[in-house]
Amino acid sequence: MTYRGRFAPSPTGHLHFGSLVAAVGSWLCARHAGGQWLLRMEDIDPPREVAGSAASILAALPAFGVDPDVAPLFQSQRIAAYDAAFEQLRTAGRVFPCWCSRSELAAAGGIHRDGQCVAAADPDRLPAWRLHVPDIEVTFDDALLGPQRENLRESVGDFVIRRAEGFYSYQLACVVDDAFQGITDVVRGSDLLDSTARQIWLQRCLAVPTPRYLHLPLVLDAEGYKLSKSDQAYPVDPAAPLPALRQALAFLSVPVPMAAMEVPDLLAHALANFDPALLPQCSGHSVA
Ligand code: GLU
Could you tell me the CATH number of the domain that includes residue 65? 3.40.50.620
Q: Are residues 183 and 141 in the same domain?
A: no
250 shares a domain with 179: yes
Q: In what order do the strands lie in the sheet with 137-142?
A: 146-151, 137-142, 212-216, 185-189
Q: How far is the CA of 32 from the centre of ligand 1 (A)?
A: 22
Same domain membership, residue 184 and residue 282:
yes
Q: Are 156 and 281 contained in the same domain?
A: no
Do 100 and 74 lie in one domain? The reply is: no
Q: Does the CB atom of residue 26 touch ligand 1 within 6 A?
A: no
* Binding site membership of 188 for ligand 1 (Cβ less than 6 Å): yes
Q: Count the neighbouring beta carbons within 10 Å of the beta carbon of residue 92.
A: 12
Q: Is residue 186 part of a domain?
A: yes
Closest atom of ligand 1 relative to the 174 alpha carbon: 9
Q: Note whether 153 and 117 are within 8 A (CB).
A: no
- Look at residues 44, 55, 62, 64 and name the one whose alpha carbon lies nearest to residue 13: 55
Helix (H) or strand (E) holding 25: helix 17-32
- Looking at every residue in the chain, the average pLDDT score rounds to 94
Is the CB of 211 inside a 6 Å radius of any atom of ligand 1? no
Q: Are residues 240 and 111 in the same domain?
A: no
Residue 44 in contact with ligand 1 by CB distance below 6 A: no
Q: Which of 118, 139, 162 is the last residue of a domain?
A: 162
Please say whether the beta carbons of 150 and 180 come within 8 A.
Answer: no
Q: Could you give the number of structural domains in the chain?
A: 2
Q: pTM for the full model?
A: 0.95
pLDDT category, 228, cuts 50, 70, 90? low
Q: Tens of pLDDT along 232-261? A: 556 689 999 999 999 999 999 999 999 999
Strand, coil or helix: 176? helix
- pLDDT for 164-192, tens place per residue? 999 999 999 999 999 999 999 999 999 99
**Residue after which a domain boundary falls, among 162, 193, 216:** 162
CB of 8 within 6 A of ligand 1: the answer is yes
Q: Is residue 88 part of a domain?
A: no
Atom of ligand 1 nearest to the CA of 191: 10
* Residue 229: per-residue pLDDT: 53
**Same domain as 243, residue 113:** no
**35 shares a domain with 136:** no
Domain containing 114 equals: 93-162
Share of the chain above pLDDT 70, in %: 97
